[in-house]
Structure 1
């Protein structure tokens, strides 16, 4: 066995059992969460312990254009140093040969972490927790749609065709029959996940046509963000095998619910005890402060949780999406829900994040808001025990407003990193400018001869 594989997870070693490692994909996540990097033959990877990519990849927009060059050394496009994190090695079971994917850590040539690399931003927030003797724990939920292949952007997205030959039906939440319609895709998702060593807590049908949710076990924020990063690719590949697309757009289909990435949070002390619960099982001040921090700072973090113009189409009343930052116990009309649990498992569910966000940045932003609340002792508003849809003014309703609030929150930017804030703001401003150059069908239909 190649020496470096001794440090790889058991699932990766099992995948190669009796086979030659043909290729290794050396990957990092850019700002949108797209896998960037390079592929190389397995033997060559084994002979090297670092690789290089230009830092300018973080200035690229989702369309492939570039933001204004605000990185000090960006004009000469110097390389970052990529060092493999062997603990992330996992199979790419959809390939024709035996291929492993390995996420890489990114440092500047000075040895400092690249400040605008999303994985480093999340590590920075987790380190802030550790400095206070806290260990953050998260459990993400992934929602996505399986849709018919769509190669013409001018055409509306349609649900995929199931095994009965009919399009997937909407309003069938938790229906096992609906899940069976695209069981072949789900079978591949399970098989790929098993080959990659990922544990799925469950798959359910959501309320949209062809909309599914995957629940993941709670754990280390960086490890879970890595898995979501891998899962998005895994699910897309499973869908392509069955002549359909998997989409993680926040709102892909008109008049259907959007797709979220609900994030459950708890925090442990140095003894492993959940600091949201006292010894008698009651809620602690830390629990209240975490919620208070989310209510105070999430408006400024929405630009990371809802990163595209499409993201804000999800925040629509009565479409199973949060439109507020109220909090409540077992109340799905609030943005911050406290699920039914034992005191040991007491947690706060952030329902604001869209599935289109970069998982590293979405989790980092959510954890940052709770952290700032605990440090400052922020108190939450009174709990909502009724329907909270009447409270809809807490969050920005568009990307432009969200970016303004993001840039004005000094405490949040200091925790995430000022350099990251500048790069992220520049890239998102460039994307928004690109969007404004596109005229939509709605504008042509209603304005062309009427105004």
Structure 2
């Protein structure tokens, strides 16, 4: 049973390899930084060998920085441990055609050690553990992620040669909801929409956003794991499709001083039978369980921000009047708050506005579930909604202002250690330490401009 009729069954893949319409299978997992990592296999080899026996990859893939440098501090991977292998466990539910690439299919994977113990630090495994925790309490989770990006006329190579300065955005003015602005770059956006639909994603549509060249493509709400899997594939494919058009795009949280790239995450729970648990149909209001869940997300927001905002650059988004939140509060359809509640009945859901376009969807969804289930289990009371401008609010908590602040809150979080385990908390704390050390050693353009002559 495939996720939908645009996903491939194994039998359909066999037929496609036999008739030559597929000759390559990408086997990939999502790493700490949210990137797809893996290998391309010949289609027949995949069917003859990998389907039954699996394949492997070096365990340093869960212990490198963004530049793929091997770094210290990780318990699971090091020179001393010999940088051995992890096994890729195929999730055939994710098998799909990548129509933007020639004759190519893809399957996503979980990770286990050679003795078949799970690699608990794997982002997909972390989310699956929280989904299982929810299931034990009688719930399934539905989610949607809203990724923004900025599209440039420059190729990735040209952008690199220019040191990512003075690039030409695809639009020269604010095109938020602008049909004309969208038409300007429709050849790229249309290709992304259609290729993602062919890859099994349920595409809603696209729209312009505020920053120059900024756009968003929306996808339908789905099971949380499906949403995270699709998010990872879409993020890579969008870059590949832009490159095929001689352009580039970035999902980084804050490319310049204008609006950053957000990734608002919508989430709700259902009963195991699909029944509503976030809404009291008789009273026509939110359920007590919904309130407890939101209270838990808010109560743990500071200590889990590291999983919503994992990079130095992530924190540049959090500025007053930016549509990125600074105040930890909730509101009814209030976009100035960290958490916005929207919808009624089956559409009732919470929107977490803290994550940026650089977020790892598995980790962010796992954090929301961990916080929300903490709220349910402890029957946390939901504070009153914030009305008006949250940027001007007093007496409420603030979103951590730096990676260092988020790191300190995460490493000492009892909720995180109970939900994820010490191995996971220590692993992602080290990831933050690596980034902080790298940034601390860098000399920025800001320093050079201010200091070269005048100091």
Question: What is the TM-score normalised by the length of structure 2?
Answer: 0.91
8 Å Cα contact 2:325/2:399 also seen in 1: no
RMSD: 2.0
Question: 2: distance between equivalents of 1:73 and 1:322?
Answer: 36
The aligned residue for residue 225 of structure 1 is 228
What's the CA shift string for 1:350-372, capped at 9, x where partnerless?
11111101111121112221111
| Counterparts of 2:238 and 2:334, CA distance in 1 | 30
Where does residue 77 of structure 1 map in the other structure? 83
Unpaired runs of 5+ residues, structure 2, are none
Where in structure 2 are the equivalents of 1:346-425 lying within 5 Å?
346-391=348-393, 393-425=397-429
Q: Corresponding residue for 1:165?
A: none
Mapping of residues 118-267 of structure 1, within 5 Å: 118-149=123-154, 150-152=159-161, 154-156=163-165, 158-161=167-170, 168-252=171-255, 254-267=256-269
- Matches of 1:274 and 1:139, distance apart in 2: 17
Question: 8 Å contact 1:266–1:274 — kept in the other structure?
Answer: no
- Segment drifting more, 107-116 vs 309-318: 107-116
Counterparts in 2 of 1:159 and 1:330: CA distance versus 1, 3 Å: farther
Contact 2:330 2:341 in 1 (8 A): yes
* Aligned-partner SS, 2:280: coil
Is the alpha carbon distance of 1:160 and 1:73 closer, same or farther for their aligned partners in structure 2, counting shifts above 3 Å? Answer: closer
C-alpha separation in 2, matches of 1:51 and 1:336:
41
Q: 1:310 aligns with which of 296, 313, 318?
A: 313
1:414 Cα deviation (Å)?
Answer: 2.3
Tell whether the 8 Å contact from 1:148 to 1:157 is kept in structure 2 after alignment: no
Residues 248-302 of structure 1, C-alpha deviation per residue, up to 9 Å, x if partnerless? 10011x2311111111111112332221111322222111111211111011111
Aligned 8 A contact 2:146 2:265 in 1:
yes
Deviation string, structure 1 residues 35-60 (Cα, Å, up to 9, x no partner)? 11121111111122211112221111
- Which residue number corresponds to residue 34 of structure 2? 33
Q: 2:443 aligns with which of 422, 439, 443?
A: 439
- With over 3 angstroms needed to count, the CA separation of the structure-2 counterparts of 1:380 and 1:169, relative to structure 1, is farther
Structure 1 counterpart of 2:280, from 261, 278, 282: 278
CA distance in 2, matches of 1:289, 1:73: 39
The whole-number CA distance in structure 1 between the counterparts of 2:129 and 2:162 is: 38
Q: Is the 8 A contact 1:25 1:38 kept in 2?
A: yes
Alpha carbons of structure 1 residues 73 and 334: separation in structure 2 relative to 1, 3 Å: closer
Q: 279-288 vs 356-365, which deviates more?
A: 279-288
- Deviation for aligned residue 1:65: 1.6
Rounded Cα–Cα distance in structure 2 between residues aligned with 1:226 and 1:265: 15
Instruction: Report the TM-score when normalising by structure 1.
Output: 0.92
Secondary structure of the structure 2 residue equivalent to 1:71:
coil
Of 99, 103, 108, 2:104 maps to 99
Take 2:119 and 2:278, find their aligned partners in 1: how far apart are those partners?
33
Q: What do residues 336-388 of structure 1 show as CA deviations (whole Å, max 9, x unaligned)?
A: 0012x232221111111111011111211122211111111112322112111
CA distance in 2, matches of 1:439, 1:72: 31
Contact 1:143 1:259 in 2 (8 A): yes
Q: How far off is 1:428 after superposition?
A: 2.1
* Cα distance change of structure 1 residues 307 and 140 upon mapping to structure 2, 3 Å threshold: same
Corresponding residue SS for 1:70: coil
